[in-house]
């Protein structure tokens, strides 16, 4: 039997997904290693969020398989934490910051099992790590965009997962929050966690990520950022949107 820690944290083989008969992802093969912060980069409509939802088993796929540490997602769901896009969250839901962060402990609980002192301690530590402990009794809808993003990352930290999927965590946040998030992601890598981040700011890809996935409905390239994030691969991924890269100051050889 293959040792648990020798298996890739995320293995995607031949994944294809369609919405309303329109193909969104085609024949994706990926093996994401542990101890990495990996950026998922591509134009709008490239299938980045769809890839995350397929990994999480949240959508129906046309073909292919996804394994988490060699197992089905439903068997290891507590080992993978998800931070959705802000637009996917109902900010009117009557929950406090502490309520949301404690939700990260639910995957470790049986039905109707109560949260205990350990759960509350982990949630408190996560809130302290994201500098939001003083907001614990605030309603989530009352927070700024940066504070809201910190809350959901704190929820992910409280889950004590091995794999973290963050869908555009830097959208609508201030620079202080962005730096705080990067510090957290770096720490997770040092703890041998696997982190995937859907990212849109092309100018920071090289400084933020060890590995990069370039995606445009099909896999354009995947590998270490230094060797993969080239002008040629960017041109293939973004096509007609390449002018945006020029305006962003992206110049790759």
Least confident of 3-12, 45-54, 108-117, 131-140: 3-12
pLDDT exceeds cutoff 50 at 151? yes
For residue 179, the model assigns a pLDDT of 92
| Superfamily in which the 4-247 domain is placed by CATH | P-loop containing nucleotide triphosphate hydrolases (3.40.50.300)
Q: What is the mean pLDDT of residues 156-184?
A: 93
Q: Is 177 helix (H, G, I), strand (E, B) or coil?
A: helix
Backbone angle region of 136, left / alpha / beta, with phi > 0 → left and psi within -120 to 50 → alpha: alpha
Contacts of 93 (CB under 8 A, 6+ apart): 140, 141
**DSSP secondary structure, 122-142, as one string:** HHHHHHHHTT-GGGTTSBGGG
Tell how far CA 52 is from the center of its chain. Answer: 7
Residue 153 · residue 103 · CB < 8 Å: no
Does residue 5 have a pLDDT over 60? no
d(C-alpha 182, C-alpha 23), whole Å: 33
Check residue 114 and report its DSSP letter: P
Nearest to 153 by CA among 182, 175, 174, 176: 182
Number of residues assigned to the chain: 253
pLDDT at 4: 45
| pTM score of the predicted model | 0.90
Mean pLDDT computed over 230-246:
79
Question: What letter would DSSP give residue 36?
Answer: E
Using DSSP, state whether 162 is helix, strand or coil: coil
Band the pLDDT of 244: cuts 50, 70, 90: low
Give the model's confidence band at 91: pLDDT under 50 very low, under 70 low, under 90 confident, else very high: confident
CA distance 51 to 74: 17
Q: Which two tokens stand for residue 162?
A: 């091995």
**Other C-beta atoms within 10 Å of 226: how many?**
11
**What is the average pLDDT across 212-227?**
97
d(CA 214, CA 48) in angstroms, rounded, equals 9
């Amino acid at each position: 039997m293959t040792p648990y820690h020798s298996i890739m944290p995320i293995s995607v083989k031949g994944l294809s997904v369609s919405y309303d008969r329109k193909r969104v992802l085609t024949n994706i093969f990926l093996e994401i290693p542990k101890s990495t912060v990996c950026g998922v980069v591509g134009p709008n409509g490239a299938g980045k969020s769809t890839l995350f939802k397929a990994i999480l088993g949240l959508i129906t796929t046309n073909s292919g398989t996804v394994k988490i540490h060699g197992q089905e997602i439903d068997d290891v769901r507590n080992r993978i934490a998800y931070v959705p896009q802000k637009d996917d969250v109902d900010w009117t839901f009557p929950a406090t910051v502490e309520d949301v962060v404690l939700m990260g402990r639910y995957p470790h609980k049986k039905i109707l099992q109560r949260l205990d002192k350990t759960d509350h301690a982990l949630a408190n530590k996560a809130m302290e790590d994201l500098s939001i402990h003083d907001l614990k009794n605030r309603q989530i809808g009352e927070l700024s965009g940066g504070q809201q993003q910190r809350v959901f990352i704190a929820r992910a930290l409280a889950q004590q997962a091995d794999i973290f999927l963050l869908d555009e965590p830097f959208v609508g946040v201030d620079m202080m929050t962005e730096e705080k998030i990067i510090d957290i992601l770096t720490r997770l890598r040092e703890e041998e966690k696997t982190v995937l981040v859907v990212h849109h700011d092309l100018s920071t890809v090289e400084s933020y990520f060890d590995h990069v996935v370039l995606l445009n409905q099909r896999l354009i390239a995947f590998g270490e950022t230094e060797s993969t994030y080239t002008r040629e691969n960017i041109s293939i991924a973004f096509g007609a949107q390449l002018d945006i890269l020029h305006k962003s100051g992206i110049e790759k050889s």
